[in-house]
Chains A and B, each alone.
Chain A
């Protein structure tokens, strides 16, 4: 892992800024995400961590700074323009899973998963279904292939949403508080799936309030506070032995949980 420093990052944020009106949420953030890395973003609510991760796939348009994907600048249009790649291209390779799942309610589980590969990647239905069934098997929901999302539990919905994102075979997966909307007893099954992905070397950026999970699964932790990266380091340094006072206060509130 030491040669990570010399590797070129898959996705990179450079002096990233985002304002909503006069309110500046992100005040110049930098991040390099290397292949196989799992970065956890923690911080109090309103610190900008969700906005930050949503800027990485242009779900929010940054108001300053740059997003780079394999060192190429990402522009503000859907399609590529010369050397500047479009956010359509970016999103094909950077998957995202949402807090509220956002499954397509008018499609079955299987249709949800193949929608991206068939519509966006132009894969044949057969090919897409084979991969989809494999992924549904991995998240333990192969038997639910023909169910509609409304008939699934929250944890099952979120696992389908993860399979849907993976069906695009992305290089990076962005997870935005994926367990925050779940009943406590359903959190474990989703975390187990994410842990499995980390073990397989999936590159991920994870916004989470599950401190124990973040400490366990991530290779690096960023502590965001008031729109800046207030602390950054190994899970050991950030979560288990925090030095920064605000970080100490933040992390201590979660001790004893999980």
Chain B
């Protein structure tokens, strides 16, 4: 069976693809930004030594790590407004869900990075009179960040792919736009292939950079 590839209709809609790609990038970086803040707070709560904070942070993490992102999106868009009475903008629901989702994973990456640093480092910092804050910022974090970096980049790459799910609540990202173009041109093979290639074009440089960074970090250890 031969198929006549025809990119003409798709090409005419290239502005939709680019706009969709831009929206995907915005949701990726937006949710990474908020996710870092959420992850940082959650990580601080887990390491605070206060049982209540620790348990609350843990509950949040497990809730978001153990349900599929798609389920979370549907819940925040369709169920959550009923719970609080009112409605929620689909873009707000999308950004909120993506941020909470990635924040739960970031928190775990931050936490495991920090606790992986040998306790002797904390003791050595304490022994020269450093406050817990000085010890954290000058001794523990610089070492922990290095260990966190590969998993952090990995999680962020996954996050970019995850944004494609926001199309189910009608946020006009790349996946949504591909469906729109397909609807107009009846060219699913071309529309969805272009979409896939655009995702690859975005992420391939990132994964390569991550590998390179990891190798470099290993050398300096």
Contacts and interface: CB of A to CB of B under 8 A. Distances in A.
B84 interface: no
Max chain A C-beta neighbours (<10 A), residue from B128, B131, B143, B146:
B128
Given A59-B127, A91-B127, A104 B139 contact: yes
B84 to A, nearest CB: 43
B1 to A, nearest CB: 60
B129 interface: yes
B124 A120 contact: no
A50 to B, nearest CB: 12
B143 A116 contact: no
A116 B121 contact: no
Contacts of B131: 78, 88
B124 A57 contact: no
Contact of B128 (A89, A150, A165): A165
A19 B124 CA distance: 23
B138 A115 contact: yes
B136 to A, nearest CB: 12
Given A105-B143, A119-B138, A92 B121 contact: no
Interface string A86-111: 00110110011010101111100000
B183 interface: no
Interface string B173-213: 00000000000000000000000000000000000000000
Contacts of A209: none
Contacts of A150: 221
A91 to B, nearest CB: 4
B123 interface: yes
B129 A116 contact: yes
Contact of A103 (B124, B129, B146, B221): B124
Contact of A115 (B123, B128, B221): B128
A96 B129 contact: no
B90 to A, nearest CB: 45
A164 interface: yes
B120 A120 contact: no
Contacts of A98: 120, 123-124, 127
B74 interface: no
Interface in B137-151: 138-139, 142-143, 146
A41 interface: no
B124 A95 contact: no
A98 B118 CA distance: 13
Nearest to B135: A119
Interface string A151-191: 00000000001001100100000000000000000000000
Given A59-B123, A102-B124, A92 B129 contact: yes
Contacts of B81: none
Interface in B114-173: 118, 120-121, 123-132, 134, 138-139, 142-143, 146
Contacts of A92: 128-129
A52 to B, nearest CB: 16
Contacts of A115: 128, 138-139
Interface of A: 57, 59, 78, 88-89, 91-92, 95-96, 98, 100, 102-106, 115-116, 119-121, 150, 161, 164-165, 168
8 contacts: A59-B123, A78-B132, A88-B131, A102-B123, A104-B143, A106-B146, A115-B139, A165-B128
Which 3 pairs show the lowest CB-CB distances between chains A and B? A116-B128, A102-B124, A92-B129
Given A59-B126, A115-B128, 11 more contacts: A91-B127, A98-B124, A100-B120, A102-B118, A105-B143, A106-B142, A119-B134, A119-B138, A120-B128, A164-B124, A165-B128
Interface of B: 118, 120-121, 123-132, 134, 138-139, 142-143, 146, 221
